[in-house]
Amino acid sequence: METAVSYRLIREFLLKKYSEIEVQRRIVTVTDEKNGALRSETDKRGYQSYILPGNIGGRYSVLSPVGLLPCAIAGIDIQKLIDGAREARKDIYSNQKHPAFVYAEKRVQLEQA
């Protein structure tokens, strides 16, 4: 619902300022490869799009096109972001006392209680 409302508001705003062709050039979507309302709209209007893998969601999406595209548009060096995430992953997996591991263990314990 939020995505659909945001999309419509942004599209309406852009149409007040630009031609349909310019709006088509300016809108880029991140959506499912085959399904969903945004996929249909993307195909219908000819927007450039990036695929959101179906097995990625919520807090994990920051390192997918959902999170990386806005970061890139905002001027963030996404290669450095990805490199930092890789380093953090190595650090976490090499140290079972790492706060991320401790947090995960506590969550599992609470969920099983």
Domains of the chain with CATH codes: 1-76 (3.40.50.10490), 78-113 (no CATH)
Q: Please answer whether residues 71 and 65 qualify as being in contact, where contact means their C-beta atoms are separated by less than 8 angstroms.
A: no
Please give the model's pTM, rounded to 2 decimal places: 0.65
**Per-position pLDDT tens, the chain of length 113:** 677 888 899 999 999 999 999 999 999 998 888 988 889 999 999 999 988 887 877 666 788 888 898 899 999 999 999 999 999 888 888 887 888 888 988 999 999 98
Q: What would the DSSP string read from start to end of 92-106?
A: HHT-TTSHHHHHHHH
Tokens 């997996």 — which residue? 93
